[in-house]
Amino acid sequence: MKLPKVLKLFLLLIVILVGLFSGFLGYQTITSYRPAPVEIVNVSCNPGFIQDTLNLVSWNIGYAGLGKEMDFFYEGGTMMRPTREQYQNYLTGVINRLSSFNHSDFLLLQEVDTLAHRSYNVNQYAAISARMHDYCASFAINYKAWVPLPIYKPMGRVRAGITTLSRQAPFEVTRHAFETGYSWPMNLFMLNRCFLVARYKTKNQKEFVLVNIHNSAFSDAAEIREKELAALKSFVINEYKNGNAVIVGGDWNQNPPGMDATAILNMYKFQPIHPPIPEDFLPPGWQFAYDPKHTTNRHVDKSYTEGVTFSTLIDFYMLSPDVELLWVKTIPFGFKVSDHQPVQMQVVLNQAKKSAH
């Protein structure tokens, strides 16, 4: 029996679509980003000695594409990127805000694009480095993919990562891959999570180890975050045992342990992220440092309205026992140019006391 012509055309269309999709997955698999477990990151500056008192800022700049007017399709919104004019305003705002932190010794940045359709193919790392020319800059890629969603207007090419800027140059910078993540084919389109480790010389011949992180997001990544935390914990404890002072800062995509939600100011509509980092995560003497009054990240299912849009606290620091916290504060600016707010901190390294015991 002969098949009707319409059915033949339908079957042919199905075969063509399956072939195209298979070819797309094959190409993505062959060309996907496969970083080594540990990679040396080039730094052009000459290393020097850091001081005991240090000022730091951590900020996820949201690729200068998630200002207060924006929503995002991955989190329930409809937008894929801002207009070109909005993007330029956000990028200018981000760089101006970073310039206002020029008294800081270290700047830890996340979601910095180098070549991405969502940010109009502007190399943000180069733009920030040029403006912050008094700092030594290093970069680790954690997102290198072609994203086919949303289907009607795909995000397309994304090249992005994390950046550490420092007044004094590190003597070594390394990218450490988290050996966790999504399975194929989802891993072709998701981030290759990592942490960026910068090592600095101190006056007492010890090392100061600064770790920049951006851990996994999304509700289905709880198990992945747990594995990332375990790997990070093993790394920092080993560094401390070797006599090094350690600070970890960045976007944890989890609430800190023991956070009191009642301390959050009424200007925010707080929503917790479950589960938070476990209460017993850190050994005795270690601590988390954050501003308990302000949220640091807002939901992007819709544009931001103070007191209406949900927000949470996921950007903070972790300190080894030989790092004394002087103060920490979030800089509230209404999520004007990013879906995150920067967090400042001042600490003192007490490695000399540690060596005396």
Tens of pLDDT, residue by residue over 95-152, are: 999 999 999 999 999 999 999 999 999 999 999 999 999 999 999 999 999 998 888 8
User: Could you tell me which of 119, 117, 74 has the C-alpha nearest to residue 92?
Assistant: 119
Asked if pLDDT for residue 39 goes beyond 90, the answer is no
Half-sphere exposure of 154 (CA within 13 A, CB side): 10
Average pLDDT across the chain, whole number: 89
Give the model's pLDDT for residue 355.
Answer: 46
Pair 241, 262: CB distance under 8 Å = no
pLDDT band at 357 (very low <50, low <70, confident <90, very high): very low
Pure H helices in the chain: 5-31, 84-99, 124-131, 222-241, 351-356
User: Could you tell me which of 213, 235, 212 has the C-alpha nearest to residue 225?
Assistant: 213
Asked if pLDDT for residue 347 goes beyond 80, the answer is yes
Per-residue model confidence as pLDDT tens digits over 263-321: 999 999 999 999 999 999 999 999 999 999 999 999 999 999 999 999 999 999 999 99
Which tokens is 29 given? 């698999």
CA 267 to chain centre: 25
Per-residue model confidence as pLDDT tens digits over 269-283: 999 999 999 999 999
Asked if pLDDT for residue 74 goes beyond 90, the answer is no
pTM for this structure?
0.88
The one-letter amino acid code at 228 reads E
Asked if pLDDT for residue 160 goes beyond 50, the answer is yes
User: Could you tell me which of 344, 286, 275 has the C-alpha nearest to residue 318?
Assistant: 286
Instruction: Tell me the pairing of strands 207-214 and 245-251.
Output: parallel
DSSP 254-289: SPPTT--GGGS-TTSEE---SS-S-TT-SPTT-EEE
- Please give the CATH topology (third level) of the domain spanning 37-356: Deoxyribonuclease I; Chain A (3.60.10)
Q: Residues 6 or more apart from 5 whose CB is under 8 A from it?
A: none
Average pLDDT over residues 202-217: 92
